[in-house]
Each structure stands twice: as C-alpha cells, then as structure tokens.
Amino acid sequence: MSEREGLGDWADNRARRTGPPDREIRFRTAAKAIAASIKRNRPGEGKPDCPILVEGMRDEKALRKLGFTGVVECVNRGWDRSRLIAYLYDTYGTRNLVDKGPALILLMDWDRTGGRLQAALRDRLMALDMPVDEELRITLLKVMKPEAKTIEALAPHSRNLTPLIEEFID
C-alpha cells in the first residue's frame, strides 16, 4: 500500500537516518562502536593508546564505567580553547603512530551545546592538520538518542552495554 502511494518503506528510511528502532539492535550497534574505541584507547606496548577528549569529569567517569582504560582528557579544566588546542597538538601530534589513524577521539555530548563544542574543536584541530576520530559520537548520536543525550547518561546503561562490549572486544 505504501509503495503505491509513493511513501516507500518509511521504517527503513527512518532507520538509515536515526538508527534502528529496536533497542537490542541499537545497544549492539552502540556496543560495537564503544568496543572499537576502547581498543584504540587501550594503553600498552604496540597498542594505539589514543586519547579521548570529553567535556568534563562526569563524562570521564561514565567512560571508565563502560571499560575505557586509556587517557581521557577533559575540555573543562579552566583553560581557554586556544591553550587546550595547543596542548593537544603538542602532546599528541597529528597522527597516531601505531595505527596511523587520527591522534584523538573527540566525544562531546550530542545535545546542542555539545554539537557546537564538537564543531568548534574539530575545526580548530583540523586547521592544524590534526584529524579527529568522530565515529563513536556519530554512532552514539544515532542509536542512543532516546535513552541518553549526554555521555554521563550512558553510565546507567553500562550494566546492559558492558556484556555486549566485551563480546566485540574479544
């Protein structure tokens, strides 16, 4: 009936834009993206040890609860943006030397303020030829929007996400 009216498969189109409607599928997708970022964030010999940049301390605590063990840098540390950008550039360089990928994972909240902050930081880092990894934020924005609009809001879901994350890490 919908094909005849020219509407197409609206559920399929919605899933492409905003993520799948089924919670189990959404959580598995989020867990897969989180696991990939955990692997990049792990410290140790021969591992990428890619730092993650988040907004504040609560975001860092939520990431630790999800299983991140590497460096997590916070934007809110009392520095202006220019000093923060200079610190990130001096400390981490333009590329990750182990996996040759972006030197930094940029993960701001997916609300309006987080989106503006993400864009501002990304633009300033890209101006210094320092690409950033935004895959985790893009995935979480699509699949976790009904449950959480911030990173710290992922902490209550860690009980459900952690076993799925461990499946993808192993």
Give me the pLDDT at residue 128, please: 94
> What does the mean pLDDT of the chain come to?
88
Grade residue 17 by pLDDT with cuts at 50, 70 and 90. Answer: low
Whether residue 82 is predicted with pLDDT greater than 80 in this model: the reply is: yes
Q: pLDDT category, 9, cuts 50, 70, 90?
A: low
- Residues 31-37: what's their mean pLDDT? 96
Ranking 21-25, 89-93, 124-128 by mean pLDDT, the lowest is 21-25
Predicted local distance difference test score (pLDDT) of residue 163: 94
How confident is the model over 130-147, as a mean pLDDT?
Answer: 92
Q: Which residue would you say has higher pLDDT here, 22 or 125?
A: 125
pTM over 0.85: no
Written in H, E and C, the secondary structure of 95-119 is ECCCCCCECEEECCCCCHHHHHHHH
Res. 121: pLDDT tops 80 = yes
Reply yes or no on whether the pLDDT at 5 is more than 70. Answer: no
Domains and CATH numbers, the chain: 24-169 (3.40.1360.10)
Q: Edge-to-edge strands of the sheet including 72-74? A: 72-74, 52-54, 104-106, 132-133
pLDDT at 7 over 90: no
pLDDT at 140 over 70: yes
pLDDT tens digits, one per residue of 85-116:
999 999 998 888 888 889 999 999 999 999 99
Tokens of 35: 């696991």
H helices of the chain, in order, are 10-18, 23-41, 57-66, 81-92, 112-127, 135-143, 158-169
Per-residue pLDDT at 96 = 86
